[in-house]
Structures are given as structure tokens and as C-alpha cells.
Amino acid sequence: MKTIIPPHAASAPVIHASPPLPSYIPPFGLRTVIGCLGMLLAVHVAGFNEHVTEIGLSDIRGAMHIGHDEGSWLISIYEAFNIAAMAFTPWFYMTFSIYRFSIFMTAVMALLSIPAPFMADVTSLCILRAFQGLAGGCLPPVLMTVMLKYLPPQLRVFGIGGYAMSATFGPNLGLPLEAFWFETMGWHWLYWEIIPLAAIAVGMMAYGLPRDPMHFERFEKFNWLGLVVGLPAICSLVTVLYQGDRLDWFRSPLITSLTFWGTAAFIVFVINEAFHPSPYFRIQYWRSRNIQAALLSLVGILAVCSMMAEIPATYLEAVRGYRPLQAAPVSLVVALPQLIMLPLIAALCNSRKVDCRFVLAGGMLCLAASAWLGTWLTVDWVRDNFYPLQILQVFGQPMTVIPTLMLATMAMGPADGPFISGMVNMLKGLANAVAYALFAALSRRREQYHSTMLLDHHGTQALALQGMGNPIAHQLSGTSPDAGHVARNSLQIFHTYVREQSLVLALNDIYAVLVCVCLGYAVMNLLLPHRVYPPRAPSPNTPAR
């Protein structure tokens, strides 16, 4: 029997209906924008709580009478729980709802800041910072999901640009904020500065985020083994990265034990995630070339950006004696232009005519050029000499972070968002730990090498230079009639010069390594990932292909 098709139906395009959206997602409007901006502000508040207290740790240690070793544990414990929370957050916000979970964690993070300056001892402060890190680490994965879920398809790349602010704008604003709060309001505000901003963020999220329902039935398949094994595994490995160089790595029984048991537990965690019916993230995503390239690039790019921000701060503080307030303009040169550059790069990548892989490669070349200029660092540099390097990073950082996030998320479907957000954010946090460990190890070992070489060269050439006299002792000869006192001061000044020169040479070596890393990532991202296109809303007038 032949079916008769009406003429008007035969010429009509075939439209494949998209699956119905959940009823709790409202139409996009001003209210949703306010909620998304509140979520973005909450993530920045968490970043300020992390970076400002880390940069101002020396001032906090002096005010609270905390030693250097005890202070290092404040950073490592906070970061360990902060990074571990990112891996497990998506399961919990899908269960308790994005709206309730985000507001609760932001409020907890802010309220824990109130008693922080009044802790009785280091142990109680470490426990408080662990819970604060746990609360702060829960927010970035929610931001990624909010930007991908509540924004319309034509604006999702701009949402990725907003999320990228937490990796480019926030960290570079940490040093200026620390200088402002400490020099103007006092050291207590290094903890308290997040409270007013957190209150504003909670109000914006309470008004704008949709009231999605809770799903307590998910506890029937709760992944207990993954949480019990994965949380201590991630905390152990992050602690190794932050404490390894200080404790001389595997010469320390603590580092050896944490590495062995943390690695074993992490292997069990990965195997469990691969087969559990309700995983925290899906290991199977690593089969995709785009996911491999994007996640590997994300760790490397953020580690490079973090080390590039650390080198000027280290040099200006150790060699030139700058206070944070004096070094703040170097960070502001990178931070403030991000408010313009991030939307511009997002608009560029939102065009289907632009291949984001080439934007990513161009950004890596900008970072490589910045690092190459840094190899000319000498002890005569001042703050202004770093401005050309920082201007190149103004372009390089958004040009690398936004395309990397596009490669990681644009190939995914809506149901994949929670599983990829936990993985991306955990690796994003892990990049800071990797950068911290690499910078500490490279700077210490290369400084020791150059110091040994300089002293060896001086000892070898001492007899040849003996006829030229001792210029340091000659300058100090008029300060004291005691020849022994002048000799001791001359030796101290000589070793100060050696320390400065060896540190500068070590920082030059790190810049040279970063050049090679940036060029390697540029080549990798041109070869490994497939091209992705920015999403577009389905049009009823466009036939399906």
C-alpha cells in the first residue's frame, strides 16, 4: 500500500526534536545572568581566600607568631582539601541541587574566616583551613556547570571565558589585594576580606539561580568506596607536592609513605571509577584525543602561568627588597586587562570561521616569547623591566585557557557536564600544586648549582685577581678601624652578591625551561586534538544534516 505524502509536507525540512529540557531551567533572562554572575563572584571569593592568604603568609606568620615550617602546612593542608573537594563536588550538587549547595558552601567558607585570626594554636588553625579549603574547592566545578547549563548555546563560549577568569584574572589579583588589605586595613583582613564579597555573591545566587529539585534517591547508589579511597589519596599526593622540596623528597619517611600509600589508593580509586555505576567522573573520557590534549594542556598551561607570576614576585622580593605594595603593579598589568581580553578572545573563538587550536597555539607562542624575554633577567632589573613580559601574558593567558576549555567541553553532551567538570577542576587545582613543586625544586637546585660554580670559579681565579685588590674591603675600610670587623663585613657582602647572582641565574634557567614547554604545547595542540565548533541554537529553518 503506497503512502500519499501531501505536497506541503514533502518540501518541509526534517527537524529532529531535541530532548525536552528539565522544567526547573527557566528561560534565559536578566535573573539568570545575575545568578551566573553571583556564582562567578563566589568562585573569585574562593580564589582570593586561597591566593591572598598564601601570598601574605609571611605577614600572617609574623602576626600570629608561627614558624616557617608550621606556616607551610597551612598552605599544603588548605590546598589538599581544596583540590580533593573539586573531584567529588559534581555528585553532591546534583544530589542537593546547585542552588542550595552553592549558597551553603559559600556561606560556610565566609563564616569560617571570622575566627581564623583568633585561633589558639597552629593545629586548630590548620583544621579550620582544611574545612575552609573543602568549602572553597566545591565552588569552581559548580561554576563550570552553571555556565554550560543555564546559558544559551550562542553564549556558552562567553561562559567559558567567565570561568577562565578564575584561572587568569583571580590569581593575578591576589598580590595587589594582599598589599591593599595588609597595608591599609591590617593583617586580620587577609582572612576577613572575603566576607562582604561572599555576602553579595550569596544574595545574587539566591535571587538568580533556578531552584532545581533535590535528588536524595541518588544515595541508594552512593559511591562510598570512591570517597573513602579517593579523598585521602588526592590529599596525600597534593601534600607530597607542597611539602616534598622542603622535606627533601624521598629522603623523608613522611614523603615516602604519603607517596606510596597515596599512589596505591589513587590506583584503586581510578579502577573503582571505571566500573562503578555512579562514578564521580568517567575515566573513559580519556579515550578521546580532544580530552587528552585539553586536560594535559590545562595542567601545563596553568602551571606555566603560575610559575611566570611567581618569578617576578620572587625576584623583586629577594633581590630588590620590594614589599607586596611595591610589586603589585606587576600583577595588575596582567590582571586588569583580562576584563577586556577574555570577552574579546571568547568572541573570537565563538566564530565558526576561527579554529580555536590556532588561537591556542598563538597564545602559547606569546607565553614562549614572554619567557624568552625573561631569560635576559639580571640583578639590575627593577619592576618596570617586567612590564613587556607581562603584556605578552595579557594576550597569552586568555588565548590558551579559553581554547583549552573549549576542546574539553564543546565535544560533550549536556549529560556529560557534571562528570567532566570534576575532572577539569581537579586538574586545574593540581596544576597549582605541580607549579609550586616544580618552582621550589628547580629554583633551589639551580641556585645551589650556580652558587657552587660561582664560588668554585672565584676560588680558582683568586690568585690571578689578587693584584687587583679587594674592592669591597676598600669601600668598607673607612667604616671601622678594626680590620677583622671589616673582613667579616666584606665576606658577608660578597656572599650576598653570590646569592643574588645564583638566584638570578636559577630564574633564567626556569624561564628557559618554560620556553621549551610552551613551544612543545603549541605543537601538540596543532597535531593531537580534532577541531571543535562553538555551539549554536537549533533553528527550525535549517534542515538537519
Q: How confident is the model at residue 16 (pLDDT cuts 50, 70, 90)?
A: very low
- % of the chain residues with pLDDT over 70: 86
* pLDDT per position as a tens digit, 330-368: 888 888 888 888 889 988 888 888 888 899 999 999 999
* pLDDT per position as a tens digit, 444-456: 999 999 888 888 8
- Report the range of poorest mean pLDDT among 232-236, 291-295, 418-422, 502-506: 418-422
pLDDT at 79 over 80: yes
pLDDT at 77 over 60: yes
What residues contact residue 483 under an 8 Å CB cut-off, 6+ apart?
Answer: none
Compute CA 313 distance to the chain's CA centroid, rounded to the nearest angstrom. 17
* pLDDT per position as a tens digit, 23-39: 456 677 788 889 889 99
| pLDDT for position 497 | 83
**139 C-beta neighbours (distance < 10 Å), count:** 29
pLDDT at 157 over 90: no
Q: How confident is the model at residue 80 (pLDDT cuts 50, 70, 90)?
A: very high
Q: How far apart are CA 374 and CA 376, in angstroms?
A: 5
Please report, for residues 55, 258, 532, the alpha-carbon distance to residue 58 in angstroms, rounded to integers and kept in the order given: 8, 27, 45
Q: How confident is the model at residue 120 (pLDDT cuts 50, 70, 90)?
A: confident
CATH superfamily of this structure's domain 282-462+485-534: MFS general substrate transporter like domains (1.20.1250.20)
Q: Establish how many alpha carbons lie within 13 A of residue 512's alpha carbon, considering only the half-sphere containing its beta carbon.
A: 12
Enter the pTM of the model: 0.84
Extract the C-alpha cell encoding 298.
590545562
Residue type, 389: L
Contact present, 386 and 312 (Cβ < 8 Å)? yes
pLDDT at 542 over 60: no
CATH superfamily of this structure's domain 28-222: MFS general substrate transporter like domains (1.20.1250.20)
* pLDDT per position as a tens digit, 165-187: 888 887 778 778 777 877 788 78
